[in-house]
Amino acid sequence: MILALVLAGTAGCGTSSHVAAPARAPVRPGVVEPAVLRIPSLGVDTRLERLGLDKTGALKPPGDPQEAGWFAAGPAPGEIGPAVIAGHVDSKHGPAVFYRLAQLRAGDRIFVERSDRTTVVFRVRSVQTYPKAAFPTAEVYGPTPEAALRLITCGGRFDRSRQSYEDNVVAYAAVEA
């Protein structure tokens, strides 16, 4: 079953930022949850809020534009599979937590501190921009043989008539060996 996920509301990406993702079971007991995301090359240092789906199957965006959120029904950072962290690109007050996400480069390091005080280190492999109408669901949410991380925000041109950005920016990273 495929669910449509809204990765940001009016505060970050405008309305209707739909990205499809596979349905997953609720968080398993004993999962070590991510608590803090740090991206030194971008100056990002944010707590992570737990994100879930609303009654329409849309991902509830982070409540604070200056904080990112983890899709808690998917893999946790450090587990096999693609952990997904979403954040706003901006708000009516200015730049938000993932404002500079498109500036990440291959090789940049991403640190995720977990609830057990361990840190998982990821290296960026690539950053891609996709039209929302052509979002590569299988590539972003599909299985991976390693612990992977996907950082997602809105990007591209802002369509004032729709109050939404036209694209999504996705940073792909893999756990550092």
The domain spans of the chain are 2-175
Q: How confident is the model at residue 47 (pLDDT cuts 50, 70, 90)?
A: very high
pTM: 0.86
So what's the pLDDT on residue 21?
52
Determine the average pLDDT of the residues in 27-48. 91
Q: What is the CA radius of gyration of the chain?
A: 15
Which amino acid is it at 99?
Answer: Y
Determine the average pLDDT of the residues in 44-52. 95
Three-class SS state of 88: coil
Cα–Cα distance, 102 to 126 (Å, whole number): 10
Q: How confident is the model at residue 176 (pLDDT cuts 50, 70, 90)?
A: very high
Report in angstroms the alpha-carbon separations of 125 from 23, 104, 108, 120, 128: 25, 10, 8, 16, 10
So what's the pLDDT on residue 12?
41
So what's the pLDDT on residue 65?
96
| Comparison of pLDDT for 163 and 131, the residue scoring more | 131
Q: Which of 19-28, 49-58, 159-168 has the lowest mean pLDDT?
A: 19-28
Q: How confident is the model at residue 90 (pLDDT cuts 50, 70, 90)?
A: very high
Percent of the chain with pLDDT over 90: 69
So what's the pLDDT on residue 157?
93
CATH topology of domain 2-175: Sortase; Chain: A; (2.40.260)
> Is residue 41's pLDDT more than 70?
yes
What are 1-11's pLDDT values in tens digits? 233 344 433 33
> For residue 118, what are its two tokens?
């361990």
Three-class SS state of 132: helix
- The region, left, alpha or beta by phi > 0 then psi within -120 to 50, assigned to residue 55 is alpha
So what's the pLDDT on residue 137?
83
Of 83, 121, 84, 97, which is closest to residue 43 (Cα–Cα)? 97
- How does 108-129 read in b/e, with b if 16+ C-beta sit within 10 Å? bebbbbbeeeeebebebeebee
What are 114-132's pLDDT values in tens digits? 999 999 999 999 999 999 8
